[in-house]
Amino acid sequence: MNIALIGYGEVGRILAEDLRAAGRAVTAYDLKLDTAAGEPMHAHARVHGVVLAGSHGAAVQRSELVISAVTASQTIAAAEACAGALPAGSFFLDLNSASPGAKIAAAEQVARDESRYVEGAVMTSVAPHRLKVPLLVGGPDAAAVQPLLEDLGFCAKIASPKLGVASATKMCRSVMIKGLEAMVIESFTAARRHGVEDAVIASLGETFPGIDWEKQAAYFFQRAIEHGRRRGEEMREAAGTVSEAGLEPLSAVCTAERQTWIADLADRGLFGERGTTVFARSPDWRIEADRILDHLVASRTD
């Protein structure tokens, strides 16, 4: 089987490693391949025997399964770029964190080649689970692709034969999960500034005794620092999902802004060296909160 990966970032590389370890032929393409950011991708491909293509079309033209794992904002664009080169009857598995409306629009692009579009919703962080990450699949061809995915090592569960159900599940979950990250960062940083963080954590522990708030806060801070940019895009898609339901997406929009704000600070080097895949560089969330507070003080005095 020939498998094409559209998007060769963190998720794409993890999938490539596991698929190659199982002896599968993998071709990949990423818009960043010809930039400085593409150097680690080339190095990774050499180590794991992944063929890098020069375009979307070159990557997918002989593939029986195409896996799209790009940033949320590129969901439709990636499908459109592949359209015209997808083999008839091939499967196009869209793993991107996008709204139901975006997934339906992407499916329309894929249908031009008589390729079979399947929406995929990754339901938790990929890194700990790798290929076995819980995955909801949906659309008219979800049942047809499930045995193939299981044979490849995926942990895929059918959400619905209707497009949009899997992605709606993912997006509504993200309103909670990414929103909780943003709220913890905002609440704990403000509490640190007022000197009441211990009292706040003690109170939360009484209300939610099953959560280790010290450990959870460290994890939330680091996830936002590492992936705030991607999370911001995802939350804009979540906002679209809420809007499609007829609600004003107040929480989702604010979460997108907070996640993007953290990403902007990280890009400016506020949290130390970039590029590491180790999340909890600071096992104590207070270190990161103090960096934010120091930055805010410096910004006011500039």
pLDDT at 153 over 60: yes
Q: Are both 128 and 183 inside the same structural domain?
A: no
DSSP code, position 255? H
Radius of gyration of the chain measured on its C-alpha atoms: 20
Q: Are both 159 and 263 inside the same structural domain?
A: no
Q: Give the percent of the chain with pLDDT over 90.
A: 89
- Nearest-angstrom CA–CA distance, 10 and 124: 14
Per-residue pLDDT at 269 = 85
Query: Token pair of 244, please?
Result: 């499609």
Are 120 and 136 spatial neighbours (Cβ–Cβ below 8 Å)? yes
Q: Are both 82 and 196 inside the same structural domain?
A: no
pLDDT at 53 over 80: yes
pLDDT at 198 over 60: yes
Supply the CATH number for residue 51's domain: 3.40.50.720
Q: What is the pLDDT of residues 63-117, one digit of tens each?
A: 999 999 999 999 999 999 999 999 999 999 999 999 999 999 999 999 999 999 9
Host domain of residue 286: 167-301
CA dihedral (104, 107, 108, 109) positive or negative: positive
Q: Are both 111 and 20 inside the same structural domain?
A: yes
Q: Are both 28 and 157 inside the same structural domain?
A: yes
Q: What are phi and psi of 51, to 5 degrees?
A: -85, 125
Q: Are both 237 and 218 inside the same structural domain?
A: yes
Match 């079979």 to its residue by tokens: 116
Pick left, alpha or beta for residue 102 (phi over 0 → left; psi -120 to 50 → alpha; otherwise beta). alpha
Q: Which of 117, 146, 163 is the last residue of a domain?
A: 163
Q: Are both 214 and 271 inside the same structural domain?
A: yes
Q: Are both 105 and 242 inside the same structural domain?
A: no
* Secondary structure of residue 41 in the 3-state scheme: helix
Strand partners, 189: none
Q: Are both 9 and 140 inside the same structural domain?
A: yes
Q: What is the pLDDT of residues 29-50, one digit of tens each?
A: 999 999 999 999 999 999 999 9
Q: Are both 195 and 150 inside the same structural domain?
A: no
Q: Are both 190 and 133 inside the same structural domain?
A: no
Query: Span 150-162, mean pLDDT?
Result: 96
Q: Which residues are CB-contacts of 300 (< 8 A; sequence separation ≥ 6)?
A: none
pLDDT band for 275, please (50, 70, 90 cuts): very low
**pTM (2 d.p.):** 0.87
Q: Are both 276 and 192 inside the same structural domain?
A: yes
Supply the CATH number for residue 261's domain: 1.10.1040.10
Are 223 and 282 spatial neighbours (Cβ–Cβ below 8 Å)? no
